Amino acid sequence: MNALSSALQKRIIAQQVRLYACCARMQAHTDDEALHDLRIAVRRLRSLLRPLRKDPLCAALEQAAGALGRASGPLRDLEVLAAELQLRGQAAAAQRRLAERTEGYSQLLAGVPLQRLQIRLDEWPQDCRDAQRDGKWLVSGKRVERDLARQARKLGEALRVPEPDRHRLRLLIKRLRYCAEAWPAYAELSADALQALREAQGALGDWHDHLQWLLRVQSEADLAPCAEYWRTCLVTAEQQADACLQKLARHFP
């Protein structure tokens, strides 16, 4: 086993331990950050594996982690919305969503996506040893380096499209940023470029949140008292996001 493979396995096991701890916290309802921390563990796992997805084992584990990420997304959105409603003085509306969260935790913990990921993680060390023994292990630093370079080029192209798609840019920025942070030795990005990615992601996240909340107003009447404020915030968030994207484009010619 080469140094990169050994390091990869250790880092995946670390995220597995973190994932299990977060599940225990969610089950016991010990704190409000358990789901958020679970999603961070899943994100870090995916960021380690995404540049190596030409390897079948890495691809399978990344896909399992992605399924859990998608399954937990709406639940996390509910938590963020509840916190926003508390901030806006809408305690009753916030409490209704926190009550939904309790049921959501139970469904997520008992759901297929989490169970599949746990099985994949449990089988991962032996599967890797078998693949290496059979000469089917396709993990290398060159693959990571090439994938990160490809992601950077793709983002640079997307930043220069007339009237760019903010939704698509948000996803491209998140993927590149997290993969670059997972594999800093293989990412040819300056500290300034990474900071610009973080700023753009934050601005686009703020824009995305307000846009989604306003869409929910159409079907959730108790959100109406916040609608006007959110519309004002959305305009500001769009302007800030566009300014961050212009700044980011300078780092991806």
pTM: 0.92
pLDDT at 1: 55
pLDDT above 70 covers a percentage of the chain that reads 100
pLDDT classification of 4: cutoffs 50, 70, 90: confident
- Which tens digits make up the pLDDT trace of 76-112? 999 999 999 999 999 999 999 999 998 999 999 999 9
CA distance 213 to 115: 31
Inter-helix orientation angle 112-133/91-110, to 10°: 40
**What ranges do the domains of the chain cover?**
1-139, 141-253
Higher pLDDT, 244 or 3: 244
Helix (H, G, I), strand (E, B) or coil at 135: coil
Cα 33–chain centre separation: 15
Please, what is the average pLDDT of the chain?
95
Residue 174, class by beta-carbon neighbours within 10 Å (0-12 exposed, 13-18 middle, 19+ buried)? middle
Joined together, the tokens standing for residue 94 give: 């916030």
Residue 43: what pLDDT? 97
How far is the first Cα of the chain from the last one, in angstroms, to the nearest whole number? 38
Domain 1-139 listed as CATH 1.20.120 = yes
Task: Tell me how far apart the alpha carbons of residues 77 and 70 are, in angstroms, rounded to a whole number.
Answer: 11
Residue 2: what pLDDT? 74
At 160-211, the pLDDT tens digits run: 998 889 999 999 999 999 999 999 999 989 999 999 999 999 999 999 999 9
CB 186 within 8 A of CB 144: yes
